[in-house]
Structure 1
C-alpha cells in the first residue's frame, strides 16, 4: 500500500484524541441549543436554562466521563472552562460550527462561529477541529457546491495550522422529512456511503470522518431494537456497513445520533460482525441524556452522582464493545508504518 503524508501536528492531534491502541473512544459534549431546550423542558412549563446551567452540566460530564474516555468534544461558547476539568491525558476536540441552521434558507447551509478561527481554537486547547455538515448527496448542485467549497476552506485552514480536521456529515432529505423514519431508513445506506466517498477526497483535507452508521438498527429484522418494520435483513444491514466502509479512504468513527446506549452498542456490534474497520466513536446522547432531568430538578450534586454511577457504567459497556470491534485509526492506511510524517 502506498504511503500517505501527514503533518506532525495532525498526527499528534489525532493521537491525543485516541487511546494507546489507536482507538478513539471520545465523549461528545458540544450540544448547545438542544441541551438548553432539554434542560428548560425538564423544568416544566415556563422552565428556563441559562448559560451557567450549560457550563455546569458540561463541566460535570467532562470531569467524570473523561476518566474512561480518550477525548472530549466541546464547544467554545459554553465549554472552555469545562475542558479544564478533564482527566489528564484526555484529548480535546472543539466545534467550529454554529449550532443548528437557518430553516428559512433551502439546504441547511453551514456557518462557522464568527469570532473563532482554527488558530484561536488551537490556542484555546483544541487538539483537533470538528465541523458538522448537513449533507444530502442528491440535493441541488448549487447547494452542494456551496457546501463543498465551505469544507475546502475549513480543510485549508486546518492544513495551514497543521491541526486535524474531523468532519461530521449528517444525511438528510427534506423531501422525506424525519431522519428517524422508516422511509428515510430505506435510503440512508446510499446517502451515508455517498458522503463517505465524497469527503474522503484529498481536496477537502479531512483527517477523520465522524459518520452515522449506514442503517437504522430499529428497522433491522431480528435485532434487539427491532420495532416490527423491516427496511433490511441482518445480512443486508451488514452489506450496507461493508459498502459504506469501502467507500472511505480516511479513518472513520461512528456517532451515536441520539439513540439509547443499548441501541448504540447493538449497532456497533453489528458493525463489528460485518468486519467494518471503524476506529471508535464520538458518543454523546447515548451516554448521558438521562442525566438532564436529574440536573434540571435536583442540581449539580445529583447530576454528578448519576454520572459516577450510570454514566460511567455506560462508558464502560461501550468501551467493552470497542475493545472487541474497533480498529486503530491508522488501519485504513494499512498500518502506522505507511504514514510519512512531515513538518
Structure 2
C-alpha cells in the first residue's frame, strides 16, 4: 500500500510519537443533545452543547493524541484542546431517516472536505451504517457514497477515517442476542469490503467484533444468554483483524471504560495488531449527570477526578498492545 505526504502529516498529527492513535470522541450530536436534555429535565441548548464539548476537550485532550469533533456544535471546542492534539472532524449528518429503508447516509450540506480542513481538521471522519448482506441497491448507494468521500479526501491529501457500524433489521435489535451471534461475520465482511483501494479509506474505525453483554464472565455479561465462549471471542478478534490490510482502531460504542478496557485486553490476548482507539462515551458519559447538577464547574471537577482516570486506564492498555499506524504501510 502507498500513502502520500499530506496523509502522512495528517495521520501523524492524530497519533502520538509512537504512531498510536489514542483519540477522544466528542462529535456526538442528537444522542448527546437528548442525554443532556434528559439530565437537565429541560431541552438542551446550543450553549449547553458548546460548553459540554469545550470542557471535555479542554480536560481530556492533554491525555489524547487527537480529538474528534463535529462542525455543528464542536468548532468552538477546537481552541480548547491541548497543544499537541490533532483534530478530526465529522463530515456526515447525524442519524438517518427512519422512513426510508437502509439507514441511508448523507453529508452536512454546508460543508466539504476543503471547508473542514480550513476549519482546522487534520483528518476527516465518516460514520456509515452498513449491512454486508443488504440488497445490492442499498449497498451500491453506500459504496458509491464512500468512494466519493475517499476521492475528495485524496484530492485534498487528507486522511479518511471510516466508521462502519453493522446492523441487520431483519435479525432484530443489533444489541440483542440474535445479532450478537452474527456480529463477528458482519464486522469481518464490512472491514474486508472497505479495505479495497477504490474507497480511499486510510483508517477503519471499527466496532469490537463481539457484544460483551453476551460473553459469559465478562464485566458486561447480563446473564441473558451466551453468544460466545472466551476462546470463540478471541478467535473472532483474530478473524476480523485478518479481514483488512488497513490500519484500524477500535471505538468504544458507548460501553463503560471498564468494559472497553477488558475488550482491549481480549484483543491483546488474541494478538490483534490494532493501531489505537477512538473513545467517546466510555470516558465522559457519566459527566452528563455532573453537568446537569452543577454546570461547567461540576463537569470539570468530574472530568478531572474520574474522566481523566478513565482515559488514562484505556491509554495504558493501548500503549502496551497497539501497533503504529504506519506498520500497515511497511
| Smaller-chain TM-score bracket | over 0.9
Q: Note if 1:269 corresponds to 2:265.
A: yes
C-alpha separation in 2, matches of 1:304 and 1:83:
17
SS at match of 1:27: strand
SS at match of 2:195: coil
Q: 2:38 aligns with which of 35, 38, 41?
A: 41
Q: Note if 1:323 corresponds to 2:319.
A: yes
C-alpha separation in 1, matches of 2:66 and 2:75:
14
Equivalent in the alignment of 2:71: 76
How much does 1:223 deviate? Answer: 2.4
For the aligned residue pairs, the C-alpha RMSD in angstroms reads 0.9
Equivalent in the alignment of 2:205: 210
Q: Note if 1:66 corresponds to 2:61.
A: yes
Alignment deviations for residues 195-231 of structure 1 (CA, whole Å, 9 cap, x no partner)? 0000000000000000001001221223233222211
Unaligned runs of 5+ in 1: 339-343
1:277 touches 1:331 (CA, 8 Å); kept in 2? Answer: no
Alignment deviations for residues 39-75 of structure 1 (CA, whole Å, 9 cap, x no partner)? 111122xx11001100000000000000100000000
Q: 2:29 aligns with which of 28, 32, 48?
A: 32
C-alpha separation in 2, matches of 1:225 and 1:143:
33
Query: Which shows bigger deviation, 223-232 or 290-299?
Result: 223-232
SS at match of 1:83: helix
Question: Deviating runs (4+, > 6 A) in structure 1?
Answer: none
1:277 touches 1:332 (CA, 8 Å); kept in 2? Answer: no
Give the paired residue count: 329
Equivalent in the alignment of 2:280: 284
How much does 1:330 deviate? Answer: 1.8
Equivalent in the alignment of 2:234: 238
Within-5 A mapping of 1:147-162: 147-162=142-157
How does the TM-score come out when normalised to structure 2? Answer: 0.98
Q: Note if 1:254 corresponds to 2:240.
A: no
Query: Which shows bigger deviation, 102-111 or 174-183?
Result: 174-183
Q: 1:135 aligns with which of 116, 123, 130?
A: 130
Within-5 A mapping of 1:213-232: 213-228=208-223, 229-232=225-228
Equivalent in the alignment of 2:3: 6
How does the TM-score come out when normalised to structure 1? Answer: 0.95
C-alpha separation in 2, matches of 1:36 and 1:222:
34
